[in-house]
Structure 1
Amino acid sequence: MDAAVTAAVAPPTVQVRVDHHSAVHLAAASARTVAQRCGMPGALPDQAAVIASELASNLHKHAKDGTLYVQPLPLGAGLEILTADRGPGIPEIERCLSDGYTTSGTLGAGLGAVSRIATVLTIRSRAGGGDDAGTLVCARLTPPGGREAAQQGIGALCLPVEGEEECGDACAVVDTGESRTAAVVDGLGHGKDAAHAARTALRTFHDDPRRPLPDLLTAMNRALRNTRGAAVGLLRLQDGQADYCGIGNVRVVTVSGRQVDGRMGGQPGIVGWSMPVPQIRRLPLPSGATAVLHSDGVDTRWTHAPPPHLLRLPPPLLSAALVHGHRRIRDDATVLTAKQPPRPR
């Protein structure tokens, strides 16, 4: 792969449900381990652990149905720690970002330390205790000079079936010049064999991600002949449009700040077994819009009447909100969200 191509494969996300105080220690340990696996230098693994500990502690003390997610950045060096919960929300975010500020009535203690350590911190919260109350946080931590990677308009979470370690879903995103190409793969079933099919498909994807999308799917079809097969969705963002080429139950949705602009599923078939001739279909991608690519482990009904605040979320928080609120726990679940890449300088 030449220097003009920047690529990353998103491994399964580490998930920590914060339903007991012991989860705070588990969150910190998980973040440190992921940072070490990412090759984060110096004190960065310990800083990742501090961020995770502070965020998990807030969830334990003040929130309900809180979950923390840890993973490498979808694109570029570094890692991200995300949290999602269902209340009570933060009424004064800016005040909570001050070091030393604490409160027993609202979520927020420790956010000052997180803001100071993280390369980029993104928070959205709805206070009030109603059904739509809750907080979403994304803290990205990168090596020195990695701020551009931390600001990428991409989000991705990939989770196995509850109770399993092997994930039959996988995803990847690649930037090549002015285009951004994303893949979500859902190996048939779940567990080890499904994970093998998904990894095989992504290896083919990374062989030459510049290829036309139908050619990429055709190459995946050949590579998966000796596996159980997979559903695959490929998405290329460029020139204000989203080109989609998919087989099976991987869906693409485009959203703006006010509405769902477009949605479609893949052609019937299985990559590796009974794949039809793949076709490109096109969706408009207005300036500022976000494209969402997800497996059927996320309930498609989220698009029927989504609240406006969901559609306004930046990509990392949108991925977290969809997984946290619309995941089918008996299936692997993957969401990849992306905006059009910035123009090269």
Structure 2
Amino acid sequence: MTASVAPPTVQVRVDHHSAVHLAAASARGVAQQCGMPGALPDQAAVIASELASNLHKHARDGTLYVQPLPLGEGLEILTADRGPGIPEIERCMSDGYTTSGTLGAGLGAVSRIATVFTIRSRAGEDSDAGTLVCARLTPPGGREAAQQSIGALCLPVEGEEECGDACAVVDTGESRTATVVDGLGHGTDAAHAARTALQTFHSSPERPLPELLAAMHRALRHTRGAAVGVLRLHDRQADYCGIGNVRVVTLSGRQVDHRMGGQPGIVGWSMPSPQVRRLPLPSGATAVLHSDGVDARWAHASPLHLLRLPPPLLSAALVHGHRRSRDDATVLTAKQPQRPR
């Protein structure tokens, strides 16, 4: 069994040249907290500096996110913006390509340093323009962790440090189990409830989903309670069990296939008997689990390019484009775990 808890994401809004230094320092700090050996913290700082510098010079509404990998050892640095996009990504990635006139400067260096590098961009002046980047950096031998089809972002209310949301993902055998917890309200008490729920989740994540929620319910009785969603991905199907305003959405790459919320109630206070709902999940489909800090209307009229994003970039796009600033916001996206060949 492999498991990881996704802590609150470090967010750096790149709206001033000083944000470039802050981004580099933040990436170095997260790398050190992750126990990254040798020169890897400095390499993380270089990646963040290059990406933040691009945002400062060329992008609109650019934000950089830094956090440990959702599953496995290492960290990831993501950026999202609202344009103008990169019209010639392949050229920007070429060795020796430099320019002060486009967003692509420095991407070649970033891609060489990163263990895994992913980018999508739509150029133009319309509302769909913008660039999404994910650079994952792992210790030697960590490429498998960097290639995991999982994305997660967890952000507190604007201006606060503690996050009342939390999420985690666990691989057990051939299934993958993910949870998003939204402690009631926000701040210290909500964060305590969310952490308590995750401790219970990790104590035995392979249990049937109703049993997991029942255990969380018992553990949260002396907290303010939480909304909880638990999702288990199998081969071509997903089981969902949720209480409160944690929503699940499945995407086929062509359309939104299913969307649903949890049963009414509060885990820790007034929880009905949890019911498992089974969803078909075709090969290659993506499941999204998110708190109500992300506006659920994103799933009602999603553009095709959004539905086709890989999980890390999809999480960044949803948080950047659909986050409610007055609430904690968490998005966890995942595909089925790949079977060993």
TM category, shorter: over 0.9
> Which among 155, 177, 180 is matched to residue 184 of structure 1?
180
- Distance between the aligned counterparts of 1:221 and 1:340, measured in 2? 27
Encode CA deviations 1:96-143: one digit per residue, 9 max, x unaligned: 112331223321001011011000000000012221100000000000
Encode CA deviations 1:159-192: one digit per residue, 9 max, x unaligned: 0000000000000000001000000000000000
State the partner residue of 1:89.
Answer: 85
- Distance between the aligned counterparts of 1:101 and 1:256, measured in 2? 36
Equivalent AA in structure 1 for residue 49 of structure 2 = S
Equivalent AA in structure 1 for residue 105 of structure 2 = A
> Which among 274, 293, 310 is matched to residue 297 of structure 1?
293
> Which among 112, 117, 135 is matched to residue 113 of structure 2?
117
**TM-score, structure 2 as length reference:** 0.99
Q: What secondary structure is seen at the aligned counterpart in 1 of 2:41?
A: helix
Quote how far apart the aligned CAs of 1:338 are: 0.1
Quote how far apart the aligned CAs of 1:239 are: 1.9
Equivalent AA in structure 1 for residue 324 of structure 2 = R
Equivalent AA in structure 1 for residue 253 of structure 2 = G
Query: Which consecutive residues of structure 1, in runs of 5 or more, have no partner in the other structure?
Result: none
- Distance between the aligned counterparts of 2:100 and 2:30, measured in 1? 31
State the partner residue of 2:155.
Answer: 159
> Which among 34, 51, 56 is matched to residue 52 of structure 2?
56
State the partner residue of 1:24.
Answer: 20
- 1:232–1:247 Cα contact (<8 Å) kept: yes
Equivalent AA in structure 2 for residue 266 of structure 1 = G
State the partner residue of 1:327.
Answer: 323
- Distance between the aligned counterparts of 2:126 and 2:308, measured in 1? 19
State the partner residue of 1:217.
Answer: 213
- 1:99–1:111 Cα contact (<8 Å) kept: no
Q: What secondary structure is seen at the aligned counterpart in 2 of 1:125?
A: strand
- Distance between the aligned counterparts of 1:51 and 1:331, measured in 2? 30
State the partner residue of 1:70.
Answer: 66
Q: What secondary structure is seen at the aligned counterpart in 2 of 1:83?
A: strand
Q: What secondary structure is seen at the aligned counterpart in 2 of 1:105?
A: coil
State the partner residue of 1:136.
Answer: 132
Encode CA deviations 1:77-97: one digit per residue, 9 max, x unaligned: 000000000001111111111
Q: Which moved more, 1:93-102 or 1:213-222?
A: 93-102
> Which among 75, 78, 102 is matched to residue 98 of structure 2?
102
Q: Which moved more, 1:102-111 or 1:15-24?
A: 102-111
- Distance between the aligned counterparts of 2:101 and 2:49, measured in 1? 20
Percent identical: 90
Quote how far apart the aligned CAs of 1:256 are: 1.3
Quote how far apart the aligned CAs of 1:218 are: 0.1
User: Runs of at least 4 residues of structure 1 off by over 6 A?
Assistant: none
State the partner residue of 1:271.
Answer: 267
Equivalent AA in structure 2 for residue 205 of structure 1 = F
Quote how far apart the aligned CAs of 1:341 are: 0.3
- 1:178–1:344 Cα contact (<8 Å) kept: no
Aligned length: 341
- Distance between the aligned counterparts of 1:71 and 1:169, measured in 2? 15
Q: What secondary structure is seen at the aligned counterpart in 2 of 1:25?
A: helix
Quote how far apart the aligned CAs of 1:264 are: 0.5
- Distance between the aligned counterparts of 1:238 and 1:258, measured in 2? 21
Q: Which moved more, 1:190-199 or 1:279-288?
A: 279-288
> Which among 265, 284, 287 is matched to residue 288 of structure 1?
284
- Distance between the aligned counterparts of 1:32 and 1:105, measured in 2? 28
**TM-score, structure 1 as length reference:** 0.98
Q: What secondary structure is seen at the aligned counterpart in 1 of 2:50?
A: helix
